[in-house]
Amino acid sequence: MPFGAIDSMLEAVIIDNVLLGSKRSLLPRAFLLWGVLAALPTVGFATKVIIKGGDPPPTQPIQNVNFVQPDCSNGIPGETGWPPQPTCTYYFQDTTASIVDSFTFEATITVSEESDFSCLPTIQSGPDKGFDPNGYFKNCSVSFDSIPDSSNVELVYAYSGVNPPDGDEAPGDYPGNDGEIGQYEGIPPDGVFTIELEGWSGPLKNLSLNTSYVLAPEPSAAIILLTELLLGGCILALLGRKLNWKHRFNL
């Protein structure tokens, strides 16, 4: 039966018996309501790591990302959904002067703790949908890596996939760099972002998250490397010509 039909039936039972004060016996209707509720599937809630852009409250430097922990000791607790699921939000700013190309969150868990872990997709699919306005990364994934000689596994959340920078990353729309959100070019210098943990409850709150990020190579460093390679090639070519000239004239 569609959920819409179930909702309509529950609403009719409640209105008829509770709100309208029907004179008929409530007991049969109560059993009917209990039976319908028992037949509903159990709703599962995913354990998520979500990265969003925006203008958050006072932020921490990105170097403190390992403050992100399920126990929420350094974050701002909250709730979302129904029934309410615990959330914990951390606010950061990219203070590296470089673009952040990827983020990885890792935790060691037991096989019995493997459940519905997920990350928030940053690109909305479908012909009538565009990019997530909060997105800095194109891809997010969850994987379980085996640990040799152990019954535990490594839980890995990975955010990755960026477009080439278009040159307006620094300072961009400072403060806040809001213009970069949704361009999927990574987190820009001075860019602000939040990391939100959702659904981390029970034993999962005792896990230890290890968070790391990868910076994009600096354009200046790439130019220097290319220049050094070209210079080295020229020197080798000149040495080769000199050796060939000496050999030709038996010097």
Q: What is the pLDDT along the chain (251 residues), one digit of tens a residue?
A: 444 444 444 444 444 544 445 445 554 554 444 454 444 443 456 889 888 877 767 789 999 999 999 999 989 999 988 888 899 999 998 899 899 999 999 999 987 766 688 887 555 544 454 446 567 888 889 999 999 988 899 999 999 989 898 877 755 444 444 567 777 888 888 888 889 999 998 888 999 999 999 999 876 545 555 556 677 766 766 666 655 645 555 55
C-alpha–C-alpha distance, residues 11 and 26, integer Å? 15
- Are 92 and 192 in contact by the 8 Å Cβ rule? The answer is yes
Which tokens is 33 given? 């309501």
Which tokens sit at 202?
A: 């029970």
> What stretch of H or E contains 20?
none
User: Residues 141-170, buried b or exposed e (16+ Cβ, 10 A)?
Assistant: ebeeeeeeeeeebebbbbbebbeebeeebb
Q: Which pLDDT does position 46 carry in this prediction?
A: 81
Instruction: For residue 31, count other CB atoms closer than 10 A to its CB.
Output: 10
Q: For the whole prediction, is pTM greater than 0.85?
A: no
- Cβ atoms of 119 and 195 closer than 8 Å: no
* Structure confidence at residue 215 (pLDDT): 95
How much is the pLDDT for 169?
72
Backbone CA torsion sign across 60, 79, 136, 172? negative
CA 88 to each of CA 7, 77, 85, 116, 205: distance values in angstroms, whole numbers, following the listed order: 31, 4, 10, 18, 11
Task: Identify which of 208, 205, 181, 213 has the alpha carbon closest to the alpha carbon of residue 88.
Answer: 205
Token readout for 105 is 């969150």
Would the CA dihedral through 161, 167, 170, 173 be positive or negative?
negative
pLDDT at 58: 78
User: What would the two tokens of residue 231 be?
Assistant: 């210079």
Q: In terms of Cα–Cα distance, which of 15, 2, 9, 4 is closest to 36?
A: 9
